[in-house]
Amino acid sequence: MHTQATIRAHLEAWFRTRFAEHDRFDHITFQGDDPAVQGVYARRTSDVLATQGLSPHDVNFKIFMHGSNFDRIGYVVSIDYNRCGGGQSDIRPVQFMVGASAVRTRSLVQAFLDAYNAHNITRVLATVRKDVVYKDCNYRSRRPEIVQGKSQMRAWLQARFRENDQFLHPSIMVDNPDQPYVAAVEADRDSQAIRGRQLQPVHMGIKLVLDGPGYDRISYAVSLSPADRCSS
């Protein structure tokens, strides 16, 4: 595994080369309501692209934000299949993400779910970053809530576990090879709060994003509850 210093050195060399080629983005627009993920559309130009007859051209980025206030960029991928690696030129995509793997992601998410269903707060918190952001539905109030950091999450877990909250029959999917640190979970949610409203277990989804030097902690998680069960 590359060290953080090695990654930084590679990135610095990459940027120096691109800047020497007068690489730039213009006409930038942002799309997406999720604070952790932003879509970016822009027009890209550079000296190298011009020699290939490809400048300018439209590009699409995905930017994944991290940190308690989503104030740092954790990962960026340029989605440029038509012009990069598609047989039209000798330009090839370069990726600096290291340490992430679908196997590691699936294992960590399984540990999170096992600890949650066992109502073991210590083990749940061991799977998340100290600046974790967790968005979930409070089924007692039927309102979505956001908790930030381990202290707030501990209080949230204590309240949920008093309601015997559980994820039943969970299935974990890590399907995108370009994002092996992102997992999707489907499960049936059950708790005293749900049953107290005369509801059956709620079939729902959870999106989890891993971060850290080894992509070994959950930095962001959001439960995707049906709109009629948890209003905004």
Model pLDDT, residue 184: 94
Q: Does domain 102-224 have CATH number 3.10.450.50?
A: yes
Every domain of the chain with CATH number 3.10.450.50 lies at: 102-224
CA distance 179 to 90: 24
Instruction: Answer whether 150's CB lies under 8 Å from 128's CB.
Output: yes
List, in sequence order, every beta strand (DSSP E) within the chain: 24-31, 37-45, 57-66, 72-79, 128-138, 143-148, 166-173, 182-190, 202-211, 217-224
Contacts of 25 (CB under 8 A, 6+ apart): 42, 43, 44, 59
pLDDT of amino acid 70? 65
Predicted confidence at residue 29, as pLDDT, reads: 79
Per-residue model confidence as pLDDT tens for the chain (232 residues): 445 566 667 677 777 777 877 788 887 777 766 667 777 777 788 877 777 666 677 777 777 776 656 666 766 766 554 455 544 444 444 444 455 788 889 999 999 999 999 999 999 999 999 999 999 989 888 888 999 999 999 999 999 999 999 999 999 999 887 788 899 999 999 999 888 877 788 899 999 999 876 788 999 999 887 655 676 4
pLDDT at residue 1 in the model? 46
Q: What's the pLDDT at 197?
A: 74
Longest dimension (CA), the chain: 67
Are the C-beta atoms of 224 and 204 separated by less than 8 Å? Answer: yes
pLDDT score of 88: 45
Determine whether 90 is exposed, middle or buried from the number of CB atoms within 10 Å of its CB (0-12, 13-18, 19+).
exposed
